[in-house]
Amino acid sequence: MTRLLLGYIKKVKEMKLNELKDNEGATKNRKRVGRGIGSGKGKTCGLGHKGQKARAGGAKMGFEGGQMPIYRQLPKHGFKNPFAKTYAVVNLDTIQKAIDSGKLDAKSISIETLLSSNVISKKLDGIRLLARGAVTSKIEITVNSASKAAVEAVEKAGGKVNLI
């Protein structure tokens, strides 16, 4: 292995900057147009005679020769609600894991403690508690929103969910 490596290093040392070149087919010469009839790309330079496509600027994007363009044939669809809220999601199993590892105190869990313990990375428009997994500790948590199943699971464990 070392002998192979030494041979490679020796080759690298022998390399000269003036001998470096691209791989075969990596570069192409540019098309030289308008250099006489004999070049095959003289006179009209491969653009044919007159017409819109022979002019500078070419054709308009999306123009289909007078036919109704595809972007006008297809229906508009979709709607973006400007008032929609994006919640950072926290599941019960994630909270339980954080409590078990000592990152969170079960008696008072708030948005600030979730952020500081890196259970969530961003607050966004608020925090939503979801019911994936199970919680065994008696927790008191303050969040912006929670699913019914999550609230039931926390209360079943003897805890409490406070909504802001």
Read off the pLDDT of residues 15-43 as tens digits, 9 standing for 90 and up. Answer: 788 988 999 999 999 999 999 999 999 99
Q: Rounded CA gap, 55 and 59, in Å?
A: 9
Q: How confident is the model at residue 60 (pLDDT cuts 50, 70, 90)?
A: confident
- Total-model pTM: 0.55
Domains of the chain: 88-163 (3.100.10.10)
At 162, which amino acid appears?
N
Give the separation between CA 125 and CA 88, rounded to whole angstroms: 7
Instruction: Please state, in angstroms and rounded to a whole number, the distance separating the CA atoms of residues 62 and 77.
Output: 19
User: pLDDT, tens digit, for every residue of 99-155?
Assistant: 999 998 888 899 999 999 999 999 899 999 999 999 998 999 999 999 999 999 999
CA dihedral 138, 128, 147, 94 (to 10 degrees): -50
**Contact between 138 and 159 (Cβ < 8 Å):** yes
How far apart are the C-alpha atoms of 37 and 58, rounded to whole Å? 23
The mean pLDDT of 48-54, rounded to a whole number, is 88
Sheet holding 88-91, edge to edge: 88-91, 127-130, 145-146
d(CA 101, CA 35): 76
Give the mean pLDDT of 61-86.
92
Locate the DSSP E strands across the chain.
Answer: 88-91, 127-130, 140-143, 145-146, 160-163
Confidence of residue 3 (pLDDT cuts 50, 70, 90): low
